[in-house]
Amino acid sequence: MNRKAFAVIFAALLLLGAFARVQASGKDEALIAQRIKGVENSLIEFNPDAPPAAGQAGRLRPSPCGAPKLLTLAERMAFYKVPGVSIAVINHNRIEWTKGYGVLKAGSTAAVTPGSFFEAASTTKAVVAAIVLNLVQKGKLDLDADVNQYLKSWRIAENDFTKKQKVTLRLLLTHRAGLPMTNFPYAENAAPPTLLQVLKGEAPAGNKAAVVQLLPGSKWQYSNIGYVVIQQLLEDVLAKPLEQIARERVFGPLGMASSTFVCPLNAEQQKNEALPHDEQGVTGTPGMHPTALAQGGLITTPADLARFTCELLLAYQGRSQRLLAPAMFRRMLNKEVELDPHLFGFPVAEGLGVFVMGSGKGLSFSHPGQNYPGATSWLLAYPELSQGAVIMTNGVNGEQLTLEIIAALSSIYGWPQMK
């Protein structure tokens, strides 16, 4: 995800298919069906030109008479040229419902289902952060130690900045390690770059090298390559690839059977893969990097990410520690650095691998994501309310659409508005 995408975040398409799974019985089913219908029919147009100080409410355009015009999800998908959307909603620490809308590929009839694969993009970072904290609580890693103590295959080069302050996992997780902002192009006519070539910025990798360019700890600067450093550290410490680490520590224990760091997907999985689409709704091919994964390489479903989120909610409440102990998850939510409110349009802080807002009943953690050439993801949860949602799309304009969906969910479930 680039910086511009972050600022935006915080042919008319028909809704060809809508498939739902509701985890309820009896009298609850009617209430949940009513909530789903409410989300599908109560979106309000998002105004990206509203001043940052307006907050979430100010970004929803009122109609000329002063009352907002309610729009359908199908209408907004067509407006934004987003062919497919998948939603999972959490209530009472469990998945209340999941539903897929639209199609996997523009012009096709292959419908999005709750089991369709989407790119998690930068939401991946929340999962990677949880793996790091799992190892911290087991005593295998120290958040404040020099990461060069753990790195074996490659090390962060010493320079005038690192002589004054070493790079630590805490700084990497919170984008304060002084590493550059960079995406990850590479020469398509050559063999895929290795992880070491990415870290060194060597051909065929076309990204900036993981060289400290600011005094660590002095500035928040969103850095994808910082999470690639974390990937190398995890693989060096555990002597396993990230896919195996994630499967053993997160995917397996939490029942995330539809999650993987292996790209491309196998032939059978590709039949149910949501392909990316650009601003005009034109289908592209997945552009995820073949070896740099920790910054945005997770492929999953909203339901699987919701399972991950439910586990964090249970940890917060002291009801589970399969992944993180309650005290460790609360450290994850510690506001390590307050960010400029003009960046998102509302106050937000950086926790350990997640963004944190509010306090008390309004406390939330989240992580948005966008992958080139057109996939978006957003995880959002309220620990005190035991609620949340994961929304994934296969269109670059899915960021604005997601904000409209979150606003509808907030109204229906009584979540605090982002101000």
Could you tell me how many residues make up the chain?
419
Angle (deg, nearest 10), helices 73-80 and 398-413: 160
Give the Cβ contact number of residue 60 at 10 Å: 19
CB distance 298 to 261 below 8 Å = yes
Residues 6 or more apart in contact with residue 58 via CB below 8 angstroms? 47, 50, 51
User: What pLDDT is attached to residue 3?
Assistant: 47
Tokens of 190: 């050559």
- Residue 362's pLDDT band, with cuts at 50, 70 and 90, is very high
3-class state of residue 152 by DSSP: coil
Q: Which CATH superfamily is domain 7-121+270-413 in?
A: DD-peptidase/beta-lactamase superfamily (3.40.710.10)
Tokens of 111: 């419908």
pLDDT single digits (tens) 33-64: 999 999 999 999 877 666 655 555 555 555 45
pLDDT single digits (tens) 321-346: 999 999 999 999 999 999 998 877 77
Half-sphere exposure of 91 (CA within 13 A, CB side): 18
Residue 314 vs residues 23, 97, 321, 334: alpha-carbon distances, Å: 18, 18, 8, 17
Tokens of 150: 């753990």
Sequence spans of domains, the chain? 7-121+270-413, 131-238
pLDDT single digits (tens) 268-302: 999 999 999 999 999 999 999 999 999 999 999 99
> Is residue 13 over pLDDT 50?
no
User: What pLDDT is attached to residue 10?
Assistant: 43
